[in-house]
Amino acid sequence: MHKVFIGLGSNLGDKRRNINTALEKLREKGISILKISSIIETEPYGYKEQDKFLNAVCLVETDFSPHQLLKVLLDIEREMGRVRTIKWGPRIIDLDIIFYDDLIIQEENLVIPHPDAHNRIFVMGPLLEIAPDFVHPVLKKTIKEIYIELTKSNI
């Protein structure tokens, strides 16, 4: 079984319900949810002309390979009505693989760890809550260390 951190975000419709629906769909696909962070409200990232987001991170256990899991996440997004139009634009649900065990994958359609997670307070904050001692496999720093650096640079 593999341990994977998945980021969840929504800024359209009933955002909290969207996140809860996505979590339920993960369970329906046979993915065990071990921990879920608090759901936090955050400002949009990248494209600013949109509503605030609700974000969370969950730790799951799965037998799916990284590629299989990515397909499952994209299928859930599609099932929930996600339409990709604007990069970083509004979305009913966003599901991202943040970390998959301690794997490092650099492929055209799959990059793990998530290439920008360490720059995003809306990912690092929830991760800090559920896995402060997890070590980023590329940066070789704990989530707590990354979070402290990130919050210092945003002051």
Closest CA relative to residue 31, chosen from 61, 56, 3: 61
Active site residue 16: no
Task: Considering the candidates 75, 84, 96, 102, report the single residue annotated as catalytic.
Answer: 96
Active site residue 96: yes
Task: Considering the candidates 14, 16, 94, 116, report the single residue annotated as catalytic.
Answer: 94
Length of the chain: 155
* Reduced DSSP (H G I as helix, E B as strand, rest coil) percent helix, strand, coil of the chain, to 5: 35, 25, 40
Task: Considering the candidates 91, 101, 102, 120, report the single residue annotated as catalytic.
Answer: 91
Active site residue 63: no
Alpha-carbon span 48 to 63, nearest angstrom: 37
Task: Considering the candidates 16, 78, 82, 133, report the single residue annotated as catalytic.
Answer: 82
Which helix or strand (DSSP H or E) is residue 75 part of?
A: helix 66-79
Active-site residues, by number, are 82, 91, 94, 96
